[in-house]
Amino acid sequence: MRKVILVADDSSTVRKFVSYCLKLKQFDVITAEDGMDALEKMSTSKVDMAIVDLNMPYMDGYELIETLRKSEDYEELPIVILSSEGSEAAIDKGQDAGADSYMVKPFDQEQLQNLVAKHLGNWGE
C-alpha cells in the first residue's frame, strides 16, 4: 500500500508543487488549506507523514502540530514544517511544538524528496 502524506499550506501554488514532487516518488497526497481542514481530512484518512506550513488561517501550523501530538493516533507521526519563516526563534518554536524537521521556503524538489526519504524511505510504496 502506498504511503500517504498530508500537505497543509494556505498557498495553492505550494500545495501543487509539493504534491507534484511527492507523487513523482509514488506517494499519495492529501492537501489541506489550513490546520482545521487538515484535522478534518485526517479524521477520515490515515496519513503516514504531514508537511505543514506555519502561517495559515483558522489554525496555524504550531497549533496543528500540538493538536496532532496530543492525539494517540498521531503522536509518532513524522511532521515537517515547510515555512518561509527561517528565524532561529521560529525553528525552535516548531521543534517545541513537536515537529521532526524544518525546511525553509524556497526549496527545490530534491531537497523536499530527500527530507521525506529521511522519514519514510525513498519511495511511497
pLDDT digits (tens, 9 = 90+) for 23-55: 999 999 999 999 999 999 999 999 999 999 999
- Is residue 48 within 8 A of residue 120, CB to CB? The reply is yes
User: Residue 17: what pLDDT?
Assistant: 96
CA atoms within 13 A on the CB side of 100: 17
- Assess whether pLDDT exceeds 80 at residue 123: no
**Please, what are the domains in the chain?**
4-120 (3.40.50.2300)
